[in-house]
Amino acid sequence: MKTLLQLGIRLHDMREGSLEERAAWAQEQGFSCVHLALSKTIPGFKMVPNTLHAGLGKHIRGIFSAHGVDVAVLGCYKNLAHPDPTTVRDLQELYIAHLRMAIALQCSVVGTETGAPNAEYRFEPNCHTETALQSFLRGMEPVLEAAETLGVLFAIEPVWNHIVWNPRVARRVLDEMASPNLRIILDPVNLLSMENYQQREQVIDEALELLGEAVEVVHLKDFRVEDGKLVSVAAGTGMMDYRAIMEYLKKEKPYIQATLENTVPENAVTARAYLEKIYEDA
């Protein structure tokens, strides 16, 4: 029986090769979609608005269509809360260029994380402040307006050590922005930290309750605790129990696209099979 879950992979987690080779490998390994980060996938790619155009989008779309693979996420993981206004304006132009190209690429969402209130894009206590949140919202506003105008979905990924760091803050962003084009990339492991990983079932339940209706794509990975830190690893090689998540996806989100993260070429297929089995048994 064909699964109702469309499992994919981050393209830059595959072995090095051309887009054509990687699309073929994704198909051979049983993946139906990919997460595409251009600067991490195409050697020497200049990540500037001028290089992001409809022709490139159609070219990439043709490559993946030939192998029956969709682009679930076109990633632009920059810092819209950067403290320098000129840098923010440049980044807004870059995001909007991604949105324009996404039309030709026919990807599901243009995805981003939510930044930090410093130039280094690093965690600091101020990440979790109201000031930081307002800075991110101001930075995102023209990007979201462009998404609405262009008819493209723009998805934010909550991460514990970024500005939108838990399900409640993410729900607030959705409510305050009130845009039908603003969606969620749900990565359950990214909601965890050393402070809350032992309560991960409650964290994930809260995320599904508050954000479920807005979840457009899911990221699937695992984690371990090593030397007092959470370390991300391939699904099935750490501490995560994915049964509740898979039950939710099977019941509420048939055919949703979910991409593996933190795999290596040697364990990607095993991770896919591991998750498919949980999904089938849910």
pLDDT digits 0-9 by tens, 209-254: 999 999 999 999 999 999 999 999 999 999 999 999 999 999 999 9
* 173-185: average pLDDT: 98
pLDDT digits 0-9 by tens, 160-172: 999 999 999 999 9
* 93-102: average pLDDT: 98
pLDDT digits 0-9 by tens, 103-156: 999 999 999 999 999 999 999 999 999 999 999 999 999 999 999 999 999 999
Q: What is the 3-state secondary structure (H, E, C) of the chain?
A: CCCCCEEEEEHHHCCCCCHHHHHHHHHHCCCCEEEECHHHHCCCCCCCHHHCCHHHHHHHHHHHHCCCCEEEEEECCCCCCCCCHHHHHHHHHHHHHHHHHHHHHCCCEEEECCCCCCCCCCCCHHHHCHHHHHHHHHHHHHHHHHHHHHCCCEEECCCCCCCCCCHHHHHHHHHHHCCCCEEEEECHHHHCCCCCHHHHHHHHHHHHHHHHHHEEEEEECEEEEECCEEEEECCCCCCCCCHHHHHHHHHHCCCCEEEECCCCCCCHHHHHHHHHHHHHHC
Q: What is the C-alpha separation between 52 and 177, in angstroms, rounded?
A: 26
CATH number for the domain formed by residue range(s) 6-281: 3.20.20.150
Q: What is the pTM of this model?
A: 0.97
In this prediction, residue 126 carries a pLDDT of 97
CA dihedral 218, 219, 224, 228 (to 10 degrees): -100
Kindly report the average pLDDT of the chain as a whole number: 97
In this prediction, residue 2 carries a pLDDT of 60
In this prediction, residue 166 carries a pLDDT of 98
In this prediction, residue 1 carries a pLDDT of 44
In this prediction, residue 11 carries a pLDDT of 95
Structure tokens at 75: 């990633």
**pLDDT > 70: what percent of the chain?**
99
Q: Where do we find the tokens 């457009």?
A: 216
